[in-house]
Amino acid sequence: MDKFLLIIIPFMSAMALRRLDLLRARHAEIITSYVINFSLPCLTIMTISTLDLKNTNFAPVLMAWVVMAAGAGLAYFAGRILKLTGGKLRSFVLVVTFPNTCFLGYPLTFALYGSAGLPFAVIYDQMGMVPLFLTLGFLVAGGKKSLGSAMKFPPFIAMLFALIMNMAGLTIPEIIASVLKGAGWTTLPLTIFLIGMKVSLTAVHDCKTVATSLVLRMVVIPALLFFSLALLGFKGLPYEVTLLESAMPPALTTSILASRYKLDEEFAVASISAGTILCMIVFAILTFFR
C-alpha cells in the first residue's frame, strides 16, 4: 500500500491543486526545468557512474532500440491507414513510438520492484530511450535541421559524462555524491506530480485516433515484446522492467516536441492524458493484487 500511495498521492494532489487553480502553466514549466536540467541528470550520473559495466545486463538497451524503431514503423503504417497527414501523422508516430520511461516509468518501476529494479529503468531510459528520442524523435518532429539542438539535452550530456567517469575508473567524492543522490531521488515524486499537473481528460476529442495510438503504444507493442521474450526464453528482473517500460503511455516530452515544431499538440496531449489515466488505473489494480 505504501508504494501505491507513493504514486497516487503526488498524482492526485497535483490534479486537485490544478483544479483549485493553485497550480498554473508556469509552475509546470519550473518543475519541468528543474527535473530535466538538474534532478534527472543527477539521478543519471549516480546510476550510470556506479554501474558494474562488465557485469550489467545491457539487453534492455538493445531491446529499447528495436522496440521503438519497430514501433515507429508500425505507427507510420497505422497512421497512413487512418489517412493521417502532416503534423497529425508526425504527432501520431511520436506518441506511439516513445513511452513515458522516465516521468512515469521510474516511479512505477520503483513502486513495483524497489531499488533493485530502478537501475534497469534508468538504463532502459537513458541508454535506450533518450538516444533514440534525440535522433529518431527529433527527426520525425522537425527533420534533419532539428538534430543539432537534440544533442544539448541535459540528461544525455549527463549520461555521457557518467559513462566516461565509469570507464575511466573515477569516483565521485562522497560529499558531492550525497548531494547528487538526494537531488536525484526528488525526480521520482516530482515527475508523478508533474504528470498530475499536465493530464486532462477534457483534451480528448479525436477518440478514434487517440484510442488507436494507445492500443498500439500500451497493448500491441508490449505484447509483441512479451511474446518475443517468451520465445527467446529471457526471464528475470531486467526483462520484467524492460516489459514494464515498453508498456508505458506516451512520453510527456512528445507534447513538447509537438509544440516546438508546430505539429498537432492537442492530439499529443490528449493521448498522453488518456494513456496516463489508463496506466494509473491498471497500476492500482496490479498493486491491489500483488
What the chain holds in terms of domains, given with CATH numbers, is 2-285 (1.20.1530.20)
Residue 84 has pLDDT above 80, yes or no: yes
| Confidence grade of residue 202 (pLDDT, cut at 50, 70, 90) | low
Q: What average pLDDT score do residues 94-112 get?
A: 89
CA distance 280 to 14: 14
Owner of C-alpha cell 544533442:
151
Tell me which of 182 and 196 has the higher pLDDT. Answer: 182
CA nearest to 213, candidates 268, 161, 266: 268
| Confidence grade of residue 224 (pLDDT, cut at 50, 70, 90) | very high
Q: What average pLDDT score do residues 137-152 get?
A: 79
In this prediction, residue 265 carries a pLDDT of 82
Query: Cell numbers of 162, please?
Result: 557518467
Cβ contacts of 164 within 8 Å, gap of 6 or more: none
The kind and range of the H/E element at 117 are none
Q: What average pLDDT score do residues 265-283 get?
A: 85
Residue 203 has pLDDT above 60, yes or no: no
CA distance 102 to 65: 16
In this prediction, residue 201 carries a pLDDT of 61
- Backbone dihedral angles phi then psi of residue 278, each to the nearest 5 degrees: -60, -40
Report whether 57 contacts 198 (CB < 8 A). no
The C-alpha torsion from 125 through 72 and 140 to 126, rounded to 10°, is 10
Average pLDDT, the chain: 85
Residues 231-272 have pLDDT tens digits of: 988 889 999 999 999 999 998 888 878 877 888 888 888 898
- DSSP letter at 82 equals T
What's the farthest any 2 CA atoms get from each other in the chain?
Answer: 56
Residue 187 has pLDDT above 60, yes or no: yes
For 176-211, b/e burial (b = at least 16 CB within 10 A) is ebeebbebbbbbbbbbbbbbbbbbbeebbebeebbe
In this prediction, residue 200 carries a pLDDT of 67
The C-alpha torsion from 48 through 120 and 90 to 153, rounded to 10°, is -10
Report whether 275 contacts 219 (CB < 8 A). no
Residue 189 has pLDDT above 90, yes or no: no
| Confidence grade of residue 185 (pLDDT, cut at 50, 70, 90) | confident
The kind and range of the H/E element at 252 are none
Report whether 257 contacts 137 (CB < 8 A). yes
Q: Which of 209-213, 234-238, 268-272, 286-290 has the lowest mean pLDDT?
A: 286-290
For 39-49, b/e burial (b = at least 16 CB within 10 A) is bbbbbbbbbbb
CA distance 161 to 168: 11
SS3 state of residue 45: helix
Q: What average pLDDT score do residues 56-81 get?
A: 90
